[in-house]
Structure formats: C-alpha cells, structure tokens
Amino acid sequence: MEMVKDINPTLIKRKGNGQINIKSGNKVDTVVKWTIWVLTALTILAFFFFDYTGLQIQRAISETLYNLRVMFFEPALTHFSWGEAFYQVGITLGLGVLATIFGAIIALFLSLLAAENLSKPWISKMIRVFVAFIRAVPTVLWVLIFAIAAGLGSEAAVLGMLFHSIAYLVKAFSEAIEEVNPGIIEALRSTGSSWWHIVVHGILPSTFTYFLSWTFLRFEINFSVAVAMGAAAGAGGIGFELFMASGFYFDLREVGLITYAILIIAIILEVISTRLKNRYFPSSVKA
C-alpha cells in the first residue's frame, strides 16, 4: 500500500504502544470504562462481607427448588374464582389503558411545543428539562407523591403512571416530529399555511404511525407498572391479589397461577408491539 507522507502527525491519535487509535478517545468512553471496572470489583468484594451464619447451602437450594416447583408446576386458585381472576386482570389492564391514553393525548400537545422544528427554542428547552426531571424519578415515587393528595389507591396509581407516561411519550413523540423532513414544513409554510395547518396536514400524517407504536410500547410498560402498583400502592387488580397470595396466605400455588396469567398477557402485548415496531419503526429505533 502506498503511504501518504504529508499527513500532519498531530492529527493521528496513538495508543501507548504506538498503534493508531480509531476511537475518538473522549472522556465519556474513559468514564464508562472505569465505572464498569469499579462496579465489577465491588460486586466481587461484596460476597466476602455477607452474613452467612445459619445458612445451610444445601437445604436452602433444595427448598427453594421445592417452592419453585410448587409454584410453577402445581398452579391453582384457592382464595378466589376464575371469574374473579379475569376481573382482576381486567382492572390492571384498565389502569394501564387509562394512564396510557390520557398520557398519549396530553403528550401529543406537549410534544408539539417540545419539538425544535415547531416551537420556539426556549419553550422547547423548558419542556425538555421539565420532562427529563419527571422521567428521572421512578413511577413508584410519583405514585407515592400523588398518594399524599389522593390517598393510596387506584387514583394515585393512575396519576403517577400518567405523569411518567406523559414525560416518556413527550420525549418519544417530539423526537419523531424532529425527524420529519424540514422540506415538508418549509413547503407548507411557503404556501401561507398557519402553524396548525402544518401540524395537522404535514406533521401528523408523517408521524402518526410512530405515535401509535410508541403509545403501545408505553402501554406494555404501564401494564407491568400497574401490576406492581396494585401491590405497592393498593391500586387493586391482579397485582394486589399477587401481593395477598404471597404475603398473607403464603399460597405458592396461587402465586404461580397469577404469575402465569400476568406472563400470558405480557407475551400477548409483547407480540403485538413487536409487530407494530417491525412494521412502522425506522431501523434506528428498533431495539
């Protein structure tokens, strides 16, 4: 291979051994690398400091296996009927649907203001920061915060989930909006269209399928959150029954059955959302 002689040598980054670097070698990479090393070291160290008194490893393993066997190979209902079980699953789904639909509608309007190509820079920044803050706090915490006002129960759960859903969807929606070809917006603007004309006839037709897919994805998340909220915030539904079966009745068979029920719903949702994703998402978002 012919060598290029007159390349400025200061442009080329080299490793300690003189080989040429192809990563830009910025600070982020270094920080990530060190974080992973430190965490690994801490995890290994931690095993030496646990309290192992009274632990008989063999018995622990065999009894855990026994419990798992009862749970998953002999599932049964004892404290409530099948009809009741379906009804409770319905409640959990309902919590998820409520939080998702209201979240999606509110997020749609906010994302129009958050998208840089439709909004003023300061409004867009403000909403982004606000939404990032909401997302940084886990859903459970929001539920507990709303419980102060609404009392523990389904209202607080829906409000908390709604809050977090809005934040999540505003980010997803506004990013989809920003992907819209700027030429479309320019062309509509040049005909004398108003902002709402551009949104309804230029932006929505180009992003609608993404919005649907993201909303469904969020519904999937909200379903699992609703299960957890049933127990943690007394929101009712299948999550609460699971909590009762395990924490109060110690009924492993019932725990097994409820787990299966949740699993089946989760799989159905997953299948639908995968199909939606494959159909409508650009390859960059498919994860």
Q: Does 276 bind other proteins (CB under 8 A)?
A: no
**Does 277 sit near other proteins (CB under 8 A)?**
no
Shortest Å distance, C-beta 179 to other proteins: 13
Residues 100-113: b if buried by 16+ CB within 10 A, e if exposed: bebbbebbbebbbe
Q: Tell whether residue 151 is a contact of other proteins (CB under 8 A).
A: no
Q: Which of 17, 190, 283, 284 binds other proteins (CB under 8 A)?
A: 190
**d(C-alpha 97, C-alpha 90), whole Å:** 10
From 37-45, 86-94, 199-207, 227-235, span contacting other proteins (CB under 8 A) = 199-207
CB-nearer residue toward other proteins: 193 or 246 = 193
259 binds other proteins (CB under 8 A): no
Q: Rule CB under 8 A: is residue 247 a binding residue for other proteins? A: no
Among 50, 196, 248, 250, binds other proteins (CB under 8 A): 196
* Options 206, 224, 246, 259; binder of other proteins; rule CB under 8 A: 206
Helix (H) or strand (E) segment spanning residue 150:
helix 139-150
Task: Determine the 3-state secondary structure of 19 from DSSP.
Answer: coil
| Of 89, 188, 227, 252, the one binding other proteins by CB under 8 A | 188
Q: What is the closest distance, in whole angstroms, from the C-beta atom of residue 32 to other proteins in the complex?
A: 34
One-character DSSP codes across 202-269: IIHHHHHHHHHHHHHHHHHHHHHHHHHHHHHS---SHHHHHHHHHHTS--HHHHHHHHHHHHHHHHHH
